[in-house]
Amino acid sequence: MDTANGYFVVKKKAIPEVLLKVVEAKRLLETGKVQSVHEATEQVGISRSSFYKYKDDIFQFHDNAQGTTITLTFQMDDEPGLLSDVLKVIADFKANILTIHQSIPINGVASLSISVQVLPTTGDVSEMLESLEKKQGVHYVKVLAKE
């Protein structure tokens, strides 16, 4: 499998600590909280060589999702109002719902796919996904595609 130029969506808990520290160092530089790479790497506790090695290859999902379409898949209980609750979370984060497809529930569980347009006004997509996963009755949320 050739993944040299591919992209992956990975949950934060699966990312090695050094990569998370690179993202934090980049954030410190971008926000002006530090003036140099040396200061940023010293503050987060990584070497400058680690920073330079990974800086162009890791970024927070929401930073690069604006203006794109994300297709999500869910499995959720077939309960009155649950779909409405899920859609409200998406609306609260100011994402634009483009399509919704829900299967006929089997054994009380429905499969759902939603395509969402992430806009400049949309909140943190990672937080939105986390909020959706925490909804009672939602079994899982996965990102199928990002266009």
Residue 78 φ/ψ, nearest 5 degrees? -85, 85
**Domain limits at 28?**
12-59
- The total domain count for the chain is 2
Q: pLDDT in tens for each of the 147 residues of the chain?
A: 555 556 677 888 899 999 999 999 998 988 889 999 999 999 999 999 999 999 888 877 654 555 788 999 999 999 999 999 999 999 999 999 999 999 999 999 999 999 999 888 888 888 899 999 999 999 989 988 777
Distance in angstroms (rounded) separating the CA atoms of residues 63 and 76: 28
Domain final position from 59, 75, 98: 59
55 and 22 in contact (C-beta within 8 Å)? Answer: yes
Tell me, letter by letter, the H, E, C secondary structure of 31-94.
CCCCCCHHHHHHHHCCCHHHHHHHCCCCCCHHHHHCCCEEEEEEEEECCCCHHHHHHHHHHHCC
The answer to whether residue 91 is domain-embedded is yes
In a domain, 46, yes or no: yes
How much is the pLDDT for 42? 96
